[in-house]
Amino acid sequence: MARQSPLLPLYSAPDFEIGESNGTRIALRTKKKKEWDDYVADLSALRRRLFVGPAVPEWLANHNISAPQGLLKYNNLEKGAVIVRLHRQQYLLIDSVEGSSYDDVFSIEQRRHDGILVIAYEAAEIACGGPHVEDLIAELCPMNVAINEPNSWIATRFAHCELAIRHLAEPSHYRILCSPADARFVFEILFEVTLERDGVALGFNDYRALINLGD
C-alpha cells in the first residue's frame, strides 16, 4: 500500500502530475507554464531512517557511513545524503534526491537489526529557493539562515514550529524538515509568502530538474 506525502492534499490534481517516488504518492511536476523566481517544493518522498542504540556508530561504520560526534552535528555523505546525530543514541539518515549508495541501509524497515533499532522516520521536507529565499525565510524564522555554511543543518523555530533547516549549495537553496503534523501549516505559510513574490509551488521532479538531476 503506497504511502502519501502529508503535503499531497495541498497540491491540486489538475495543476500537478501526481505519481510515486520511493513508494510515496507525491506531486511530481507542475503543469502550469509560468515565469517564476522563487519556489517551494515537496520532497517528503525522500527515504529516511532513524538508528537507535549505543552501537549505532559502529554499525554505521560497517556500512561506510561516518557517524557525527556531537549532538545535532551532521556529516554530509555521498550525493547529498546526510547523517545527523539527533540525540545521544539517535542518528537520522536522509537520502539524497538522486538516490544513494546506501540502498542496503534504506532497505531495512523498522526492526531490530544487529542490536540496534531501525525506524523508518516519518517527516515532511520542503525545499525553497530563488533569489529572494532568504527574505522569504526571514518572514517566518528569527535566525539569519544565510550566515550558515552550505550543507549545514540547523535546528531552529520557524513559524512557531520546531524544525531543521539545511542550507544547500549549487544552486543555493534551503530544505526544511518538519514533523508530519506541522507539515500543512509550515507549507501553507511558506507558500503564502512565496506567492506574495509571484513564486510557485513545484513538484518533486521539478526540484530534481532545478538541481540538474534531470527527470
Partner 1 sequence: MSVGWAPAGGLLYQAGAGLEYDTALEQVVPKTLPAGLYCAGRLNGVFDYLDQIDDATAAANGALGYLGFSVPTVTRPVRAARPHSHQYPIMPHAKGREFVDFDEDLQVKDLTIAYREGFDSVELMKRYSTIGMGPSQGKTSNMNGVRILGKLQGKAVQAVGVTTPRPFTYPVPMGMLAGRRLRRQWCTPMHEYHEVERADLQEAGTWLRPMSYTRGSPRAAIEREYQMVRKQVGIIDVSTLGKIELFGPDVIPLLEYAYTCSFEKLKQDMTRYIFMVDGSGTLVDDGVAARLAGDHFYLTATSSHAQAVVRQLQQYADQLGFNVAIMDRTFQVAAINLAGPLSADVLSRLTDIDLSPEKFPYLALREGQIAGVQSRVLRVGFVGELGYEIHFPASHGKALWQALLDAGATEGIGAFGVEAQRLLRLEKGHLIFGQDTDGTTNPFEVNLGWGVRLSKDRFVGKHSLTKLKPMLKRRLVGFISPADSDNRIRECHLVIEQGAIAGRVTSVAYSPHLRSVFGLAMVDLSLTTLGQQLFIRVSDSTMVDATVTDMPFYDPTNERQKIHITNNRDMA
Sheet order of strands, 16-21 included: 3-4, 24-30, 16-21
b/e per residue 113-130 (b: at least 16 CB within 10 A): eeebebbebebbbbbbbb
Give 132 or 184: the residue with its C-beta nearer to partner 1: 184
Task: Note whether 34 and 195 are within 8 A (CB).
Answer: no
Contact range with partner 1 by CB under 8 A, out of 59-67, 70-78, 100-108, 177-185: 177-185
Instruction: Tell the smallest beta-carbon distance from residue 25 to partner 1 (Å).
Output: 9
Contact 142, 190 (CB under 8 A): no
Taking CB under 8 A as the criterion, the residue among 15, 78, 139, 198 binding partner 1 is 139
Q: Which residue has cell 515565469?
A: 35
CB 76, CB 82: distance < 8 Å: yes
- State how far the alpha carbon of 62 is from the alpha carbons of 91, 128, 185, in Å: 15, 34, 39
Binding string, residues 82-101; x marks residues near partner 1 by CB under 8 A: -----xxxx-----------
What single-letter DSSP state applies at residue 47? -
Q: Rule CB under 8 A: is residue 57 a binding residue for partner 1? A: no
Q: Which of 24, 75, 194, 205 lies at the binding interface for partner 1 (CB under 8 A)?
A: 24
Beta bridge partners of 52: 90, 117
Reported for 134-142, long-range contacts at CB under 8 A and 24+ positions apart, including other chains, are 135/197, 136/38, 136/190, 136/193, 136/194, 136/197, 136/199, 137/165, 137/174, 139/193, 140/189, 140/190, 140/193, 141/165
Q: Is 3 in the site for partner 1 (CB under 8 A)?
A: yes
Comparing CB distances to partner 1, the nearer of 26 and 168 is 26
- Tell me: does residue 171 bind partner 1 (CB under 8 A): no
Q: Per rule CB under 8 A, is residue 156 in the interface with partner 1?
A: no
Give least dist CB 10 to partner 1, A: 10
Size of the site for partner 1 (CB under 8 A): 40
> Closest distance between partner 1 and the C-beta of residue 141, in Å?
11
Rounded Cα–Cα distance for residues 214 and 208 (Å) = 6
Residue 22 lies near partner 1 (rule: CB under 8 A): no
Shortest distance in whole angstroms from residue 52 CB to partner 1: 5
- Of positions 103, 112, 135, 144, contacts partner 1 by CB under 8 A: 112
Catalog residues that contact partner 1 under the rule CB under 8 A.
1-6, 9, 24, 44, 50, 52-54, 87-90, 109-110, 112, 117, 119-123, 139-140, 159-161, 179-185, 189, 193
